[in-house]
Chains A and B, each alone.
Chain A
Amino acid sequence: MNEGIVVAEMTADVPMQYGLLLAAVLFSLGVIGVLARRNIIFILMSIEIMLNAAGLAFIAAGARWAAADGQIMFILILALAAAEVSVGLALILQFYHRTVTVDADAASEMRG
């Protein structure tokens, strides 16, 4: 209990709102990146940014309430991001093999 209070005091100098605001800005940037970018590699990178924004929100909230859950969730997100990138890169490679482009809009065979 005492240790928890100490931790709270140590981090009290950065308010949680700032952390969450930063996370929101990063997430929005990620979303805009996914929607606006046509280069499939940049889309993948934007997704990474969104994942990290979510991780930051967890860390900030975990610090505010001095709970370890936030950090556990961040580790989970890291693992998820690693898996996602490996699958995503493999897909991009295949995609490039087939279309010889990295334009995501070129993959529209499923139209209609």
Chain B
Amino acid sequence: MLDLLALVPAFPLFGFAILFITAGTLPRRWIAAIGVGSVGISAILALIVAAGFLSAQQPYTQIVWRWMAIGGFNSAVGFYLDALSVVMMLVVTFVSFLIHLYSAEFMADDEGYSRYFAYMNLFVAAMLVLVLADNLLLLYLGWEGVGLCSYLLIGFWYRDPANGLAARKAFVVTRVGDTAMVIGLFVLFTHLGALEIQPLMQRAQESWPVGSGLAIAAAGLLLGGALGKSAQLPLQVWLPDAMAGPTPVSALIHAATMVTAGVYLIARTHVLYELAPPIHTAVAVIGALTLLLAAFSALNQTDLKRILAYSTISQIGYMFLALGVGAWAAAIFHFMTHAFFKALLFLAAGVVIQRLHEEHDIFRMGGLRRRLPLAFWSFLIGSASLAALPFIDAGFYSKDLILWETWNSGANGPWLWLAGIVGAFLTAIYIFRAVFVVFFGPVNIEPEGRTGFAIAVPLIVLSLLALAGGFVEIPEYLGGIPAFTELLSAVLPNPPSLTAPTASSALAGVLTGIAALLAMLGVAVAFVAFLDRPAFVTRLIESPVGVTLQRFWAAGWGFDWLYDRALTRPFVWLAQLNRSDIIDFFYAGVAWLSEAGWRLLSRSQTGLVRWYAAGVAFGSATLIILAVFA
């Protein structure tokens, strides 16, 4: 059963190849069948492989072929399956399948139907290569593959130049991180002589002491790649603009899977981070800062998709926080629940936006609760899960686990916990602001059209997962069946609550209670402020300080402004300065010189035979004189 592993990424790649070669000449029904079917088969295969893995409980490596062998350097196309990659593979294939199914109807009227599914299939193939790769080079291939598909799909509606700009922005900003990551790979290879992840981690542990400079450099450079791909501070600016793509793309690439690749990379190379304590702390601090900044920004957006985009940045901040405090399994757990509820939120938002004729502004929506019941309930369940309302949903369990582990992570734990809990409070406010504004109150625009089967099924399935997905890990106060962390404990080290607990389990109940109360309080605040008595908030926003702050936060804390002034404009200025290419002057000089030489010599070619004869006579006379007298 395990040897089917290589077919999991192969099927979407095959689907891409067919759609790419036929270039849109197939009937739409076939395109949908190939696009959705290839990912569906991949999901079924993933399930079979996962069943095989769970019965064997052994890491499994499959070498498909030798990729390259140059001198002492060997690299194989090989896939590696352990508990971590099984979880990633299952989530990626199943969420991808549901979103593909949704897309089959959502994109039905789009002229680029075939192109869309070709890109999406290529994305799934690349993402699976990323999570299954047994060496960092193959992982990097998948890493760049998903980046390429992200670029192609953000700029999917390429006729609008703004979309192309957003696509380029995403590509260039993630490239900054990717460059750091490549340098990190070079550092690892030159000093440890391997890129296969398992031997590499072993060698790092053997040859580098904790806190050694090389370990810090390698971990820091890989972190750079993770920050770019996962849209964390300071490289988070591309994700809100990436919402220019179709909504299912935002759900798949910019919420559920690709942007969490950084989380996977750090979990995969966790040994390096344990060898580099400063970088490991930096991961937690960056995560805490990002989740707060993005939550404030999400609170001030009016575009429904941008609210969700900032929310994604914020939630990945939680995952980074978990990674940074050593709660590796908690980060992966939150990745899984986040994939469910955020994909659900995006898909529900897609229905709302499409049925309202591409209306993105939440304040022009309203009262859609009875008009779009399916979208309403899906969005509500997704929001409840995102806001971590206690007990009934998946998001509560994963976020609670992260916060608990954060508290336990040594001296800085309570401070990081405070950031997390404030973020959780803000999360509840901003997402229920969207819920109350979009689905309650008076109806502003009447929705049109109808929602079909292919859109309804993914919404219902993801709703169930967003509710029940958290029960794979039942915390101690509910009986204590930590199945998820136990599965991952073979791969990832134990969290701080097991290795060095600083708090009693009685405190765990108190902390959970605070988190639960704050989440519900956040919902109540959102209800009062945006539905019940909006006048108060309006007055607050219209005060001079309010206007400034709102504009500042809505613009994402001015990072775009800063990068524009600090990087883009100086670069454009330099480029304009160098418009005629200063280095080119030298080469132009060489060309001018040889041209002058040509003019001079061509003057000597008179075409008069007597001149040539004179040249011959003079030359031979000179030669003879030299031969005789010298």
Question: Does B610 lie within 8 Å of A34, measured CB to CB?
Answer: yes
Q: Of the candidates B602, B605, B607, B617, which one forms a contact with A35 in the assembled complex, judged by CB atoms under 8 Å apart?
A: B617
| A48–B605 alpha-carbon span in the complex (Å) | 26
| A87–B321 alpha-carbon span in the complex (Å) | 97
| A9–B609 alpha-carbon span in the complex (Å) | 46
CB closest residue in chain B, given A38: B610
Question: Does A107 lie within 8 Å of B606, measured CB to CB?
Answer: no
Does any Cβ of A come within 8 Å of B69's Cβ? no
Q: How many residues of A contact B (CB 8 A)?
A: 13
Give 8 nearest A-B pairs by CB, closest first: A111-B607, A108-B607, A110-B607, A112-B602, A34-B613, A35-B614, A108-B608, A105-B608
Residues of B575-619 whose CB lies within 8 A of A = 602-603, 605-610, 613-614, 617
State how many angstroms separate the Cβ of A12 from the closest Cβ of chain B.
Answer: 27
| A68–B452 alpha-carbon span in the complex (Å) | 115
Interface residues of B (CB under 8 A from A): 602-603, 605-610, 613-614, 617
Q: Of the candidates A105, A110, A111, which one forms a contact with B610 in the assembled complex, judged by CB atoms under 8 Å apart?
A: A105
Q: Knowing A31-B617, A35-B614 touch, does A104 contact B607 (C-beta < 8 A)? A: no
Q: Within 8 Å CB of B606, what residues of A?
A: 108, 111
| A48–B606 alpha-carbon span in the complex (Å) | 25
Q: Within 8 Å CB of B610, what residues of A?
A: 34-35, 38, 43, 104-105
Q: Number of residue pairs across A and B with beta carbons under 8 Å?
A: 32
Question: Does A112 lie within 8 Å of B608, measured CB to CB?
Answer: no
CB closest residue in chain B, given A35: B614
Question: Does A104 lie within 8 Å of B617, measured CB to CB?
Answer: no
CB closest residue in chain A, given B613: A34
Residues of A56-98 whose CB lies within 8 A of B = none
| A110–B609 alpha-carbon span in the complex (Å) | 10
Q: Within 8 Å CB of B607, what residues of A?
A: 107-112
Q: Within 8 Å CB of B609, what residues of A?
A: 43, 104, 107
Question: Does A111 lie within 8 Å of B613, measured CB to CB?
Answer: no
State how many angstroms separate the Cβ of B600 from the closest Cβ of chain A.
Answer: 12
A23-50 contact mask (Cβ, 8 Å, vs B): 1 or 0: 0000000010011001000010000000
State how many angstroms separate the Cβ of A22 from the closest Cβ of chain B.
Answer: 19
| A104–B617 alpha-carbon span in the complex (Å) | 17
Q: Within 8 Å CB of A108, what residues of B?
A: 606-608
Question: Does B608 lie within 8 Å of A35, measured CB to CB?
Answer: no
| A109–B608 alpha-carbon span in the complex (Å) | 9
